[in-house]
Structure 1
Amino acid sequence: MKSWRKAVVGTQATVGEAIAAIENGSIQIALVLDERNRLLGVVTDGDIRRGLLRGISLTGLATDVMNRAPISAPSTLSRDERLHLMRQKSIKQLPLLDEGGHLVVVETLDELLEPRHYPNPVLIMAGGLGERLGALTRDVPKPMLNVGGRPLLETIVRNVVQQGFGNIFISVNYKADMIRDHFADGSSFGANIQYVHETERLGTAGALGLFPTPPDLPMVVTNGDILTTINYGSLLDFHNGTTAEATMAVREHKVHVPYGVVSTSEGFLQTIREKPTESWFVSAGIYVIGRSVFRHVELGVRIDMPTVLERVIASKGLVAVYPIREYWLDIGRMEDFEQAHAEFHEVFL
């Protein structure tokens, strides 16, 4: 992170002091804050030059040349949204503010475009049978089904590595050798891949109990049958910005009812909603879990992730929710598999 704090000046700073802040701060702007750390404006080299042309001296106030309506954004904005905004507005610096207008950090375009590397482990759950896909998974584990010319699991691994995660675990059970033979130690994919072998089916979270010691850093966990463009780094950043023990990625699921839905009371009609669309958040099968979550999973005992998260909540822990708007498809049924084939090249190539 660039030294943006060196670019901060107060309301009584002179134009000369703003110039020094621009040079020392290394983000090409000076930030004018009030005594409560609220952003009042920014000063660029261009602002100063225009001010000097108007006759303002170097000893004049920086507030007289600053931009009083700079482009800023909420600190909760995701990394992808910040990058989109900066490109859309053709700006190289973006102050991020909390709800009270206080400056939290200054994002720069150069930093957003730099490749990020995360030491956090990623666990891909790939031990399921895929029974709903019938004959397709008779000889091939579902994560190894060909989608878009390569195994689904390979697309997940490549996405994870491309986003800066190189420490990968894959939980295996059904036809585990096919997965091991394809990925080996992960070096050909730019990663270090280790395997968590389930000798029996342990559900969507039982593999957590097979770790000898929980990792020190929060772990990203994803089901191995999901095709998505989610930014795992943004999900991890969101989790780290909370006090939650775990974070669940959720997806909005809508159902259109093609009839008039009625509500009644004591046998009498109250309201009629004509052909409504109902909406719920559903689990996207992607999580971030902290070290403390592992205590809720016993060695060799079958358990699913929703149960684990319910245990976290029951023990007074917090589970954050991260809505995703990116492409997401759970390949659990034949129609999902066909949809994945139809959309793959449009989404991923």
Structure 2
Amino acid sequence: MQCVLLAGGLGSRLAEETVSIPKPMVEVGGRPIIARVMDIYSHFGHQDFIVAAGYKALLLKQFFANYHLIANNISVSVDTGKLRLIPSRPGGWNVSVVDTGAHTMTSGRIRRLRDWLTPNETFMCTYSDGLGNVDIAALIDFHKSHGKLATVTAVQPPARFGNIELKGDRVDAFTEKVRKRETWINGGFFVFEPGVMDYMVDDMEPLEQSPLTQMARDGELMAYRHEGFWHPMDTIRDRNSLNAMCDEEVPPWMRFEDKPGAAFPAVAI
């Protein structure tokens, strides 16, 4: 199944980084976050990606055009320049990078990929700046079970501030513990039927506004609840938090229990 990666925004809240590179190229633990998003799908056997680029699209094209050099070891003859790749990790990704316009909104980016998507087939779509240990196989099964046009993965937002634990009016403790609340937000990791293109009619319309709203009104949008790890990269603080998680033996977005596939080891790039 093809997977669309929305990767064309300006990333203005990460201006310290995105003044020179597109947001999906901001590194998390030494790898661009877009590659870490792809690891999640690849764990479940999905390796056909379409990158909807925009802002600084050339840098994304250059990255993937040279990924065979980045992700593998090489042997080179300095006399002839003959290069031999020596694979250092499982491969198999097929990546198309499509410039969908510097100022196009998310629904317009999807619409502009119409000719790149396999006709009449279900496809996946997500943002290139959020990581979660989403069970992609279960997500697809859920989508197939309800027969609607679209599924969005609903997640619970991470705590951005420490909690004050109270006993009555007395402060008992300060803690980073996240309390479970019935608060769900759009975490990306969509599954779409081709019919969603009928809702993508305006290049300047964010996916999160009219298209998803109208699908919901028409009863064509269902939510897959993901209660595991999920974390966006909207700010420098978010990037630093995700960087710190890479010090763990397996980062939390790659912790899958009894799931198919195998998590690929990190590659320093």
In the superposition, the TM-score normalised over structure 2's length comes to 0.71
Using the TM superposition, name which of 186-195 and 244-253 deviates more. 186-195
1:289-328 counterparts in 2 under 5 A?
Answer: 289-298=192-201, 300-314=203-217, 316-328=218-230
User: Letter of the aligned partner of 1:311 in structure 2?
Assistant: Q
Deviations 1:65-104 (A, max 9, x none): xxxxxxxxxxxxxxxxxxxxxxxxxxxxxxxxxxxxxxxx
**Aligned residues with identical type, % of pairs:** 22
Mapping of residues 78-157 of structure 1, within 5 Å? 120-157=1-38
Aligned-CA RMSD value = 2.9
Paired residues of 1:185 and 1:193 also in contact (CA < 8 A) = no
Is the 1:253–1:279 contact (alpha carbons within 8 Å) kept by the matching residues of 2? no
* Unpaired segments ≥5 residues, structure 1: 1-119, 261-271
Partner of 2:76: none
Structure 2: runs of 5 or more not aligned: 72-90, 172-178, 255-264
* One-letter amino acid of the counterpart of residue 173, structure 1: G
2:191 maps to 1:288:
yes
Query: 2 CA distance for matches of 1:226 and 1:192?
Result: 21
Partner Cα distance (2:133, 2:165) in 1:
34
| Aligned-partner residue type, residue 144 of structure 1 | M
1:195 equivalent in structure 2: 97
SS of equivalent to 1:205: helix
TM-score normalized by structure 1?
0.56
- Contact kept, 8 Å, 1:184 with 1:193, in 2: the verdict is no
- Note if 1:342 corresponds to 2:239: no
State the one-letter code of the partner of 1:252. Answer: Q
Structure 1 residues 110-259: aligned runs within 5 Å: 120-184=1-65, 189-213=91-115, 215-253=119-157
Match of 1:93 in 2: none
Residues 1:253 and 1:273: Cα distance change in structure 2 (over 3 Å)? farther
Aligned-partner residue type, residue 8 of structure 2: G
Q: By how many angstroms is 1:310 displaced?
A: 1.2
Counterpart amino acid of 1:167? D
Which protein is richer in helix relative to its size? 1
Cα distance change of structure 1 residues 321 and 259 upon mapping to structure 2, 3 Å threshold: same
Q: How much has 1:259 moved relative to structure 2?
A: 10
8 Å contact from structure 1 (residues 196, 207) kept in 2: no
- The structure having more radius of gyration, on CA atoms, is 1
Per-residue CA shift, 1:231-262, capped at 9, x if unaligned?
A: 222211110111221011011247798599xx
2:107–2:202: 8 Å Cα contact kept in structure 1? Answer: no
What secondary structure sits across from 2:10 in the alignment?
A: coil
User: Against the structure 1 CA distance between its residues 277 and 124, is the aligned structure 2 distance closer, same or farther, given a 3 Å change threshold?
Assistant: closer
Aligned to 1:331: 233
Residue deviations 1:1-25 (CA, integer Å, cap 9, x gap) = xxxxxxxxxxxxxxxxxxxxxxxxx
Mark the CA change 1:243 to 1:177 in structure 2 (over 3 Å): closer, same or farther.
same
Partners of 1:143 and 1:152 lie apart in 2 by: 6
**Number of equivalenced pairs:** 218
| 2:261 alignment counterpart | none
Task: Give the deviation of 1:334 after TM superposition.
Answer: 1.6
Deviation (angstroms), 1:298: 1.9
Conserved? CA contact 1:254–1:278, under 8 Å? no
Deviations 1:92-125 (A, max 9, x none): xxxxxxxxxxxxxxxxxxxxxxxxxxxx110001
Instruction: Provide the secondary structure at the position in 1 that maps to 2:205.
Output: coil
- The CA distance in 1 between the partners of 2:164 and 2:180, in whole Å, is 9
Secondary structure of the structure 2 residue equivalent to 1:280: coil
RCO (CA 8 Å, sep 6+): is it higher in 1 or 2? 2
Q: 1:152 to 1:177 in 2, by over 3 A?
A: same
